[in-house]
Structure 1
Amino acid sequence: MMNYPIYISSSSDDEDDEVQEKPINSQQPETATIIKDERRIYEAALQDLNQPKTEKDLPHGVLSVPLMRHQKIALEWMRQKERSYNNCLGGILADDQGLGKTISIIALILLQKLKSQSRHSKRRRSRRSGGTLVVCPASVVKQWAKELDDKVSLEHKLSVLVYHGSKRTNDPVELAKYDVVVTTYALVTNEVLQPSSSQRRFSGALGRVRWSRVVLDEAQTIKNHQTQVAKACSGLNAKRRWCLSGTPIQNEVWDLFSYFRFLRYHPYAERCFFSQRIMVPIKNNRLRGYKKLQAILRAILLRRTKDTLLDGQPILHLPPKTVTLTKAEFSPEEFAFYKGLEAASQSEFKAYADAGTVSKNYVDILVMLLRLRQACDHPQLVRSSEESAVEPVRHGDFTSTKIKAVMETLESLEKQVKTLVFSQWTGMLDLVEYNFVKNGVTFRRLDGTMSLAARDKAVKEFNNDPSVQVMLMSLKAGNLGLNMVSASHVIILDLWWNPTTEDQAIDRAHRIGQTQAVTVTRITIKNTVEERILALQETKRIVVASALGEDPGELSATRLTEQDLGYLFFGVKQENL
């Protein structure tokens, strides 16, 4: 069992308070202690349920934009969570994408700073006691820095450091001077000693500061508790901890364990207790188990969607969003190629199933599914992958059905309409780009291979240059945190197992600041694996809704099971083969 420090609220909630650490006993707590902890959590959940949502605002002139009502409620909620120790200091702000979680956190930072400035008798902050550390994907580092500058009035500016690049300081005392330090998950992984590691490797500057607060933006990045990034984030030394995510559960309930471990949300921060007190009840009785999970979450999680009502009114008045599913048909050449690939894949999968070796060959099976999905986009993606993993995609004159659909969609739009085009594969982006160049479409591109400066330049040019019609975006690099409200049309070229990834991509355009109606085109191919992925996406949506209390459904989504794989290959459950 891992030993993690608990950060306990001190007598002052001043930002200069030293972190107080209390080691956890390596022995398992008594059952009576766990029950007492859970009772306290349920009482907090009941209190949160029954009390009206109170609001907190900053003095006039501190922010350059006024807080919306739901953001004022979030500010007061976060303030209370940071002041009263109730199993953890902090929580999960899980508002839907585009509802302004960033400005809510900025308001919290400013509120704490104003309070500390009003105390003339405050203790002096120790040399390594820092301010707020914001950890985010590389694609939104510059956007965080911009928001911290733009949203704060000149008189109340925060000192902000973007901690990134080869010339960054290695002095923790230097980092501790700033009100806010913005960095990436990759750097945290490299610089923070992991509590579970027996190897005492060097800890960089990030790991040697006692942070007043750590904020994980797009916190679903740490959803797999076994990854190095999740362990490193949990190893950060901080008094207050926050997770920001519009999609806190993406695959399964186990995603929550990594957040609970980071937050020090006891007793559920220990894997054995998370399993005993959350997973086992869900397994034994799904309805009751999910009700218990909702209570556990209510004590530390605040979530509002774009459909949430306050006093009978929507919390946010956004233009409408229309999603259209386009089911296209293969050309004869594509159909023949796909059917041959599908037949070979089915035969290979059936051989594994008959031999009882599906689990042993899980990775190979996923590769077969990958090839089928790529064949739905363009045969060239499969051929290039088979010939050489590093060979660049060759541009030929063949235009796939999906690329034709993209071109037809763009031609149907008025010239002033800006469009985001998402694909999972950079090879597909290459092929679409080739057709854009050939047809004179003005575009910019954003994918994970680009530097931060190049990404920032592409976003600015797309948002500000009227002549740039399209932004080509990698689904993974472009679905997190970016503000692209200049676009009013979104095209999703290929389906992802998890619908929340697509939702995040769509919400780059449908968010605060959007003034136009947003239309979304999802392009799929009839009678292929993509139709089965659509069905699996609905299962994922149900488990998220069940855990968050947004839907009465009781299904649970997990790692793709053998039955799921059989369904994807054959359209029937494996037991029926």
Structure 2
Amino acid sequence: MSPKSRQRSAGNGNRRRRGNLDNTGVIPQLAKAAREVESAAMRGRISPAMRTKFQVVALLMREERARLKTADDVSAGERNEAMKRLDGLAAILAKTAARDTTLIQLLDAEAPTTPQARELRKKMLFAGGVEMVVGEEPEQVEPTQAVLPEKIRERQVMPTSVKSRVRANPFLSPNLAGIRPNEPHYSRLQNWEILGPLLKAFATGAGGGAACMTLPDVPRFDRVTPANLDLMPHQAQLVEAIRAGQRSILLADEPGLGKTAQSLLAASVANAYPLLCVVPNVVKTNWQQEVQRWTPGRRATVITGDGEDIDAFSDVFIVNYEILDRHIGWLQRLGLRGMVVDEAHFIKNTSSQRSQLVLRLAELVRSRIPGDHPLMMALTGTPLINDVEDFKAIWQFLGWIDADDKPTEILLDALDETGLVPSDPGFAAAARRAVIELGIVRRRKIDVAKSLPSKRVIDMPVEIDGDEAISIREAEQLLVARLLKRYGHMLNAAGLPANTVDENRLRMLARQEVEESKASSAGDSIFAMLHRIGLAKAQLAAEYTAQLAHSAGKVVFFAKHIEVMDRAENTFAEEGLRTVSIRGDQSPAARERAITQFQTDPDTQIIVCSLMAAGVGLNLQVASDVVLSELSWTAAEQMQAIDRVHRIGQEAPVTAWRILAAQTVDAHVAELIDAKQGLSARALDGSDTEATASEDIQVEAIVRMLLLALQGKSLR
């Protein structure tokens, strides 16, 4: 409600006085309510009902002060007396807010009002002798405008399709079964300092034991995954916990254990749609593909730029942190029933705009639909024993503490069940366990090694954009156009129709192109294109590697070209990560120093390796994660690189992350390698499929591009 609206509602147009300014007026009603709130604050924690009463008193005081300044039917003496009484009430509110500082925000004239507050306002006005005119409601401010800072409001966008969705479903149905009576909440811990002892309990590992809640047994039958897909046991346990009613989860599994799949299937069994996924920019495309893979019946849309091309009727909305500030306004109007924050350690700095927006939106999601309990999941591979202060932002996102670092009713209830207070022996261990059971799930590769293959290859698609993307598409189009022109000449010479599709002739043409390209530096050759794609995705591959390093520890980064290695090392330096490298021009002594430093120095987190120079003869089993930023032409070369980590002495399952440029020939080359040489089979079960010559992959890649062009399709 804007100040002008409140002033109008206080004027003669919206209500008329039924009595004079005496003890039957509005001010005595306000005084009575203010004293009630003050008494509640003196007794301890203020209930939601009292918070509402506090806000309404402040609101009506402003309205009454504005009315008195312009009222013609009030004498100067009456006006002065009323102003003194309002000043006294203001002092009471100030003292009350000093006892409970969370009330201060309710004094703001722009603070949003709830339906309960608006109803209470009507009752207090009527009790004070003011008759409300039926049918004239005070003007309401859109929640977006009420809660967002001015700088953020100015950047808001409203995609056209979102307007259509909001108009199609303007009302968000309450969950009546979930609505609890508005009763005072009591806790024996409400006057204790809680957060400090809790964080210390996690820092010291009080009570010992894994930081993982008790999870249900793996169900006998898999009822949630699509055909031809299976969950690993540890994944099935998490999904079963969601099915049983768990709605707040800090999922801190190590990288490679399928956190994305678990969160998407959790949303499916909880019916937490619309679902918002806030993710790093580098993994947006992967999230969209994972939605299609694990929940094929659900529609996903990726939000980019101003969102004009999004499908607002989707089930899953995927947005990166960097552009959330432009879209938070319309996102909060969708009636979100689930929110997933990937790489949740990104919000650890609660003073940053990124964190404040995520936390503000999370609070709105929890309160937007009365009685609803939305699915809230924070995903991070960062070990729980590091930077325990960072827990505060994640716990606030999950609704366990508030913006003032005070425990919410959810956390207080969990701690009350221990029967202990911070001064009691054993409180730290019991409190840590209680918080873990609220919804912390942490599994390491080594913990679930029996259910994991010894090594896996996981494709990570990334979206290349900007000038580099345009340049790559143009190069692809030039190559296809040049080869199709030659193919047309071949058909004409053979007397065949121009629309003939002859795979044998296409393959012959492709082989000739491969041979010519090896002796040429033409910018539109298949080799030049893969080189340019490698450069274009170098930073994205490096950013993903940096995320792994922050979450999992040491990582081995492989590339084919020196320029890609240089770009990656620059990105790592900007991230504050210490690296060493293995290159073809190194001396044996320099090479050995780099290997030793990577294996023994805990601060050296990444080794940047040339695929050709470091693909054989190295022992790097101190790491269990490998990033393949560029494709080789044979699976054998890639597996040789992975086997630098997957060696005798390696105790953890090895995960290789293959970075693929989506919607380019890069992705098609990966598919050909898998189809021709069984890369996935060897990675998963040790199969020794006979290798195919690299020339065959190159030829088939060109043939596929030409076939798509002849069918009127593109690589995208």
TM category (shorter chain) comes to: 0.3 to 0.5
Question: What TM-score, normalized by structure 1, do the two folds share?
Answer: 0.37
Task: Flag the structure with larger Rg.
Answer: 2
Q: Of the two structures, which has the highest relative contact order with CA contacts closer than 8 Å and spacing of 6 or more? A: 1
Q: TM-score, normalised by structure 2?
A: 0.30
Higher helix content, 1 or 2: 2
